[in-house]
Amino acid sequence: MIIKNAKIFDGENFIEENAVIIEGKFIKKVLKDSDLIQDEINENKLIDINGMILSPGFIDLQINGCGGVLFNDDISIEALKIMNETNKKFGCTSFLPTLITSPDEKIEKALELIKNNKDKEEIGVLGLHIEGPYISVEKKGIHRPEYIRVLSDEMIQKIADAGPEVTKIITIAPEKAKVEHLKTLKNAGINIAIGHSNATYEECMEKKDYFNCATHLYNAMSQLESRKPGVIGFLFNNDTANCGIIVDGFHMEFAAVEIAKKILKERLYLVTDAVSPAGTTDMKEFLFEGNQVFYENGKCISPSGTLGGSALVMSEGVKNLVEHVNISQKEALRMATSYPAKTISVNDRYGYIKEGYIADLTYFDGNYKVKGTVAKGNLTEY
């Protein structure tokens, strides 16, 4: 397959080349239309995208569900396939299905599901994001307090033994974690994110060597105050952690995103934290690990007024970054492609349009409406 007449963003910059040759599930060549030879044209299906932007497929490192399903409620390959098909409609070709605070049995089931499916990347799954239960009750958000607990030797060892091929990120509140547990996870190659934490600045500093990510910046974490810098102060003042951020206009003001971007620069990446209504049009309410959540006017909210995830999709997040946060188009695209790829160390095959990389691509019009997505070399047009 050849995609031609494209405005190519390669994961870093917009480039002069405007055509991509895909062979199997890999990118074979990136070149100019004028450099295509007749044999290549004859041997391939030709897709002319009429000057639309062609970007690496978006990568979402925190997504609880979409398309009417929630991973917490349906830990199955079928649910992951629905999430993947929904994601692709909005340019997202890779994701971390995210399991929020739940009993050990669910964590073990999720670990086994991913461990036993060696072809998980074929349906967009790069690994798990285990968000809780090792978090702060004070900063629980929608998470159920009765399931929040301290890390156990047994569960930490199970997660570590399964390794980074199964769990890419685990969210932990530093004030709830023992150094030996953090060390076990880090030595196993698992990314550890600060999140749902009421830690002091000092508590964060004591364990800074173990945290290289942060979960939904600003939300469910101790705030920056003049005498109590908290988790946010720690993240702003240290360059050790990359931070995910939800740019839906509900989780924070767009100005707060702009402030964070000026401070964190390339350490800030886009996530959706999406739940089942994302990518649908007809849901009005749902249960999130047993908690009732209403969906109205684009917002997912509990009866008590707590946000319960988002209905954001990645293409809309990119659009919001450009139109409401005053971020350049190429920087917004980096936040959805190469930055998340670097965060979980898959940037040797994902997050860029380069020869030899996985053929995960998306193209969209001037309003960021996705018109086609290539996932592992297979094109779906919308």
Give the three-class secondary structure for 130.
Answer: strand
For residue 186, give the amino acid letter: K
Among this protein's residues, is 273 annotated catalytic? Answer: yes
How far is it, in rounded angstroms, from Cα 145 to Cα 147?
5
Nearest CA among 140, 299, 146, 300 for reference residue 221? 140
The 10 Å Cβ neighbour count of residue 33 is 13
Which of 10, 73, 273, 360 is catalytic? The answer is 273
How far is it, in rounded angstroms, from Cα 354 to Cα 69?
33
Q: Which residues pair with 178 in a beta bridge?
A: none
How far is it, in rounded angstroms, from Cα 327 to Cα 96?
25
How far is it, in rounded angstroms, from Cα 355 to Cα 151?
43
Nearest CA among 293, 260, 299, 257 for reference residue 278? 299
Please name the residue that has the structure tokens 């391939």. 44
Catalytic residues: 273
